Amino acid sequence: MGTITRADLVELLQKENGFSRQEAVDFLEQMLELFIQTLEREDSLKLSGFGTFGVRSKATRVGRNPLTGEEALISARCVPFFRPSRFLREEVNRKRKEKGTSA
């Protein structure tokens, strides 16, 4: 099954929104940059119908190197998270429920 990439979105913007190829490339570039900047400023981003992106701070903790089993201190850090909207969670199940044997 194919993976959606930037190139697919460029094509989509050309087809659906009448953007020229160059416009679509620039648009995506700027949108993704603004997206990252928003999270960098530690603002959350709520996209209705899709989900919420945000940043969580994690405290220092002791982890383990999965390869060697050695214990290691993992420093405190900020990590991005995504919480899918109810719509997206339903969308992901809607079509596939029918063909599967799922309850």
Q: Which residues lie near another protein (CB under 8 A)? A: 1-6, 9, 12-13, 16-17, 19, 23, 26-28, 30-32, 34-36, 38-51, 53, 55, 57, 59-60, 73, 75-82, 84, 87-89, 91-96, 100, 102-103
Read off the DSSP letter of residue 76. Answer: P
C-beta closer to another protein: residue 68 or 102: 102
CB-nearer residue toward another protein: 67 or 76: 76
- Count Cβ atoms within 10 A of the Cβ of residue 39 and give its class: 0-12 exposed, 13-18 middle, 19 or more buried: middle
Please, which residues bridge with residue 71 across strands? Answer: 64
Whether the CB-CB separation of 84 and 93 falls below 8 Å is answered with no
Kindly report the backbone phi and psi dihedral angles of residue 67, in degrees, each rounded to the nearest multiple of 5, phi listed first: -80, -50
Smallest distance from the beta carbon of 65 to another protein, in angstroms? 16
**In the complex, what is the shortest distance from the CB of residue 42 to another protein, in angstroms, rounded to a whole number?**
5
Minimum CB separation of residue 11 from another protein in Å reads: 10
Distance CA 10, CA 20 (A): 9
